[in-house]
Chains A and B, each alone.
Chain A
Amino acid sequence: MIKNIAGQDVDVNEEGYLTDMSQWSPAIAAAIAAEEGIGPLAEGHLKVIQYLRDQQAKGAALTIRSMGKSGVVTTKELYDLFPGGPLKKSSKIAGIPKPVGCI
């Protein structure tokens, strides 16, 4: 489905996650963050978002562990930056798919 975020029409799934990460922009990130009750986005958030987008572009699986070991952010800081659901919220703001199980 198409949703207008920050004045731009983008493709999203039922839960509002971008389905094409190339449609992402910093303005879209800020708008999704506001919807999720996160922000305003500061340097710490942006570093995480950039890391997630780089990993996703490489096709690497995203895990809390790989983020914790990346040197970008510790797991604790990740919860501080994205309270309530660090992986699902940071992924949504970064314009990449939500981490899921098999069902």
Chain B
Amino acid sequence: MSKHLIILGGGTAGTMMANHLRRRLRALDWRMTVVDRSELHLYQPGFLFLPFGLYEETDIIRQTRDFIPKDVEFIQAEVEAIQPEKHTVTLNSGRELGYDILIVATGCRTAPEETEGMLGPKWRVNVHDFYTLDGARALREKLASFQGGRVVVHINEMPIKCPVAPLEFTFLADTFFREQGIREKVKLTYVTPLSGAFTKPKASKKLGHLLGDKGIELVTDFVAEKVDQENDKLVCFDGREVPYDLLVTTPTNMGTEAVRRSGLGDDLDFIPTHKNTLQSLKHPDVFVIGDATNLPASKAGSVAHFESETLADNVIRHIKGEPLKEEFDGHSNCFIESGNGKALLIDFNYEFEPHEGNFPFAFGPMKLLEESRLNHLGKLAFRHVYWNVLLRAWPLPGISRQKHKPVEF
């Protein structure tokens, strides 16, 4: 009788794993199932562009099934709980699925309810978010009629998905308001719980000037005790207040509720995972990938991509009873919009902070940690790479799963 491999989550990481493993596991030996609550696959990096009218919804929404191989069953359902001792998953319909190997790729979600006052009556009136499709849509409408005032871009607490996105949003907002001819009527403020907008020495030295150049005010070490919607201000635990006319917040990020119901997560519902093999620290037949892990890596699509290559090898090794590769190095790579049609590109891992250099080859053509038009075009082109190459789990030329050591200048 064939064995069963279940992937929970049909987002970036889950879809890539389905494609990797269907090619490597014989359908006669291994039945494969993907479970996701949604039949739509959303290109999440597009949420950054949607509020400014730079992307349309048709650019960023596809059918999940179109990216799942045909010999993989797709079940649209909410997961109720995982029972790793029994090797079962229960769906909210009550249906129970048995597995031999489980891959958890359930991602993370925003949890605005975690902050006092955030979900008050002015949620999506003048308190907005852009990490969800609904949020990005509402913000687009808000910005289209915005006449000026205090715009505050806020990170509630770390870790968050796509950690640079709020800063990119701030830079794009600066450009947007300038193009609308109302920049002088807008006071733009960036509020972070960290010690700066840039916290790593090389990036800070190279890019620290960007905020000042664009007239963006920076508020650091700010942990919000509450959103005071009556008086339209953010209040810090130490009493500091930041008033706003439009708040664009990044709510607390947490793992999916099914992880909590299963008792498998930490206090943010992220699953303790081996940082180099991607095996669950508690259950050998359970593997975890992407935003659902508790790894000290960025929660980002590129990280899921690099993880998927290691995890595909490790699932095969695990099936054969061979030792797992301790290979994943925290590799992350991303384009960062810096406004004015330019972007930065960064490449880093657990060990090396973002640094200068050429990418992906020794000659470039792209430069790391430097603003350029080419990087911006790369970010726009990446949407097509995502749909056609990345989700299909084809390799990206010149970009290896492990980070190349930086060349010293």
Chain A residues close to B by CB (< 8 Å): 13-15, 59-61, 63-66, 69, 75-76, 78-79, 83-88, 98-103
Given A85-B221, A100-B199, answer yes or no on A61-B296 (Cβ-Cβ < 8 Å): yes
| Interface residue stretch chosen among B1-9, B60-68, B200-208, B318-326 | B200-208
Q: A100: which B residues are within 8 A, CB to CB?
A: 194, 199-200
Chain B residues close to A by CB (< 8 Å): 157-159, 163-164, 192-195, 198-201, 203, 207, 220-221, 223, 225, 236-238, 252, 266-268, 275, 294, 296, 298, 332, 336, 346, 348, 354
CB distance from A32 to the nearest CB of B (A): 15
Bound together, the chains give a CA A64 to CA B199 distance in angstroms of: 17
Can you list 30 A-B contacts with CB-CB less than 8 angstroms, sorted by A residue number? A63-B158, A64-B157, A65-B157, A66-B266, A69-B267, A75-B237, A76-B225, A76-B237, A79-B237, A79-B238, A85-B195, A85-B220, A85-B221, A87-B193, A88-B194, A99-B158, A99-B194, A99-B199, A100-B194, A100-B200, A101-B163, A101-B164, A101-B194, A101-B198, A102-B163, A102-B164, A102-B332, A103-B336, A103-B346, A103-B354
Bound together, the chains give a CA A36 to CA B239 distance in angstroms of: 20
Bound together, the chains give a CA A14 to CA B205 distance in angstroms of: 12
Bound together, the chains give a CA A61 to CA B271 distance in angstroms of: 12
Q: B163: which A residues are within 8 A, CB to CB?
A: 101-102
Contacts beyond the supplied A59-B275, A65-B268, A102-B200: 19 A-B pairs with Cβ under 8 Å: A60-B266, A61-B296, A63-B158, A63-B268, A64-B157, A69-B267, A76-B225, A78-B237, A85-B220, A86-B221, A87-B193, A87-B195, A88-B194, A98-B195, A99-B194, A100-B194, A103-B199, A103-B336, A103-B346
Bound together, the chains give a CA A61 to CA B207 distance in angstroms of: 26
* Contact status A102-B298, CB under 8 Å: yes
Q: B203: which A residues are within 8 A, CB to CB?
A: 103
* Contact status B199-A61, CB under 8 Å: no
Q: A84: which B residues are within 8 A, CB to CB?
A: 221
Q: B348: which A residues are within 8 A, CB to CB?
A: 102
**From A69, A83, A87, A99, contact of B238 by CB (8 A):** A83
Q: A98: which B residues are within 8 A, CB to CB?
A: 195, 199
* Contact status B201-A14, CB under 8 Å: yes
CB distance from B290 to the nearest CB of A (A): 16
CB distance from B204 to the nearest CB of A (A): 8
Q: B266: which A residues are within 8 A, CB to CB?
A: 60, 66
- Most chain A CB within 10 A, of B199, B201, B225, B348, is at B199
Q: A69: which B residues are within 8 A, CB to CB?
A: 267
6 A-B pairs with least C-beta separation? A85-B221, A103-B203, A100-B199, A79-B238, A88-B195, A79-B237
CB distance from A94 to the nearest CB of B (A): 15
* Contact status A61-B200, CB under 8 Å: no
Q: A101: which B residues are within 8 A, CB to CB?
A: 158, 163-164, 192, 194, 198-200
Q: B296: which A residues are within 8 A, CB to CB?
A: 61
Bound together, the chains give a CA A99 to CA B207 distance in angstroms of: 19
Q: B199: which A residues are within 8 A, CB to CB?
A: 98-101, 103
Q: B332: which A residues are within 8 A, CB to CB?
A: 102
Q: A99: which B residues are within 8 A, CB to CB?
A: 158, 194, 199
Q: A61: which B residues are within 8 A, CB to CB?
A: 159, 294, 296
Closest residue of chain B to A80 (Cβ to Cβ) is: B238
